[in-house]
Amino acid sequence: MQESQEYELLDIPGLDNLKIAITPKMRRNESDDSGVRTREWTLTMDTVFLPTTFIELFGWYAESERETGTDVGNQLFTSSSIKHSELVVVIPCGKHLADLENMLASGELISNVIITRFIRIGIFIELPIQINTFRGCYITMVQQYLDYLIVRLRISKKTVVCTAFDQDGFPSGVGLFNVSFISGATGFGLADMLEMLW
């Protein structure tokens, strides 16, 4: 299992009261002085980060919320609406800055934004334990913050797949969540399964 990691808090300029936990940019493995950092989180955004298709994710923020009436004695969850904050990601700055700025300027639809968390088993094996897929996304802000890029996106759908592993590294269970913030529908229908496979 991966050792617990210390995080830093990053204030996001222009977003009041939002601090995002981020991984230190240069975390050295104690038994290896090469300076290479093992990834824990990655971000995929359609084809933005080619040729590798993904980039290391320093930190992110996403919040699901249900709006209910003011009568605390009668929470009508069936008639309330579910909503989601803008997705905020913190990534290293690179040549993809221009691509993200172009997508912001053109209002281009991003089909899939995928955030994946990994654990390391042994020396060479990395396994995904959490996959967050945000679909139907539009960039609302791109901000360069020295070596960081902060990107905000409006999302339409969210899917979360969490996989548990036993001590030997074999899958021992899966948790699933799927919601559309347009229709409010939850669960997996045939269209959702096909969209995930696509």
Per-residue model confidence as pLDDT tens digits over 9-28: 777 777 777 788 877 654 43
Please give the pLDDT value at position 101: 95
> Rounded distance, CA 126 to CA 143, Å?
31
Per-residue model confidence as pLDDT tens digits over 103-153: 999 999 999 999 999 887 777 778 888 999 999 999 999 999 888 899 999
> What are 126's two structure tokens?
């990395």
Per-residue model confidence as pLDDT tens digits over 35-50: 445 678 899 999 898 8
CATH number of 8-197: 3.40.30.10, 2.40.50.70, 3.30.70.2470, 2.30.110.20?
2.30.110.20
pTM: 0.77
User: If phi over 0 gives left and psi between -120 and 50 gives alpha, with beta otherwise, what is residue 14?
Assistant: left
Handedness of CA 17, 90, 197, 101 (dihedral sign): positive
Per-residue model confidence as pLDDT tens digits over 78-90: 556 777 889 999 9
Element (H, E) at 12: none
Domain ranges within the chain, ordered by starting residue? 8-197
Three-state DSSP class for residue 141: strand
* DSSP bridge partners of 161: 131, 176
